[in-house]
Amino acid sequence: MVNLEWYRTFKSVYKNGNFSLAAKELFISQPAVSQQIGMLEAHVGYKLFNRKSKGVEPTQYAKLLNNLIIEALERLENVENGFRAKAFNANRLISVGLSKHFMISMGSVLLSKFDFIDFSFHENDQLFELVNSKKLDFAIVTKQYDTFDTVQKKVGEIRQVIVGSNTINESELKATIKNKDNDATENWLNDQKWFSHDAGIPHIKLFWLHVFNKKRPSMVPNYIIPSENEMIEILSRNLGVAVVWDINAKKFIGDRKIKLLWNSKEMPSSEVFLLSAKNENLNTIFEKIELELISALD
């Protein structure tokens, strides 16, 4: 009966010309190598190696046997390695970095596909540096980088919108928007209770810059809640408005917990990218994450 380990050992001895080197390569003992070669010789009926002062020399029968089996053995090893890689990819711990504001809307969609994920929260530039230095396997960012050392793929687009609690009366706001009365629209917004995830109100500033062409709004946020998802959840139970990413507001709006007050065409979309260090072992995982994010951002 053919034992594939004999042929694997034969291949290593033939390549290295030495039983000791073959034993190290195969992570077995030298006596085990000698035993397997002896059993293979008994099986094929020919002597395969002649001992020399330093190592061994293949016989003509060994050269013939090597020519006959090498292609089939390498093909089998490639198949085996492929299965190992898939099992490794499915069960290994992967590290994924993203903004804490996207954990619920983007990070959580990966949980059903992988058994082990180590999430960490940073913003765009730091996430890029961590991936680029191979301290993170993957990162989800809203900025494209000019680099040859990382793989980056666009997975979708997101936009900042204004949302409000269900109890708010937005009829006046809708009328001013319809009439393109920016001053009246801004005045209505300034009169509301505002929620923000940051005291510096970066989202609100950006919205005002693109929509009202003003560097800074005149309002002061009433409530500062550092996590955007928690902020939206709290907003849904209180009276007020906020500028948030549409991907984060999507489920709350669908569940009728908050209202979409204004999705302005003047507000540009932001592209979302998946980053990874160049590593063939991560290719399959990258594709899985990419598909999940594309679906989430669709």
Give every residue of the chain whose pLDDT is below 70, as ranges.
Answer: 1-2, 79-91
pLDDT score of 82: 63
CA–CA separation, 266 and 182 (whole Å): 12
d(CA 52, CA 121): 61
Strands (E), the chain: 49-51, 56-58, 94-98, 117-121, 138-141, 150-158, 160-165, 195-196, 223-224, 241-245, 258-262, 270-277
For the chain, give every residue range classified as CATH 3.40.190.10.
94-155+270-297, 160-262
Structure confidence at residue 129 (pLDDT)? 93
**CA gap 126, 278 in Å, rounded:** 18
Q: The CATH number of 160-262 is which of 3.20.20.60, 2.60.120.560, 3.40.190.10, 3.30.910.20? A: 3.40.190.10
Question: What would be the CATH architecture of the domain defined by 94-155+270-297?
Answer: 3-Layer(aba) Sandwich (3.40)
pTM for this model (two decimals): 0.68
CATH topology of domain 4-91: Arc Repressor Mutant, subunit A (1.10.10)
Query: How many whole angstroms from its chain centre is CA 79?
Result: 26
Q: What are phi and psi of 171, to 5 degrees?
A: -60, -40
Within 13 Å and on the Cβ side, how many CA atoms surround 253?
16
Residues 67, 267: Cα–Cα separation, whole Å: 67
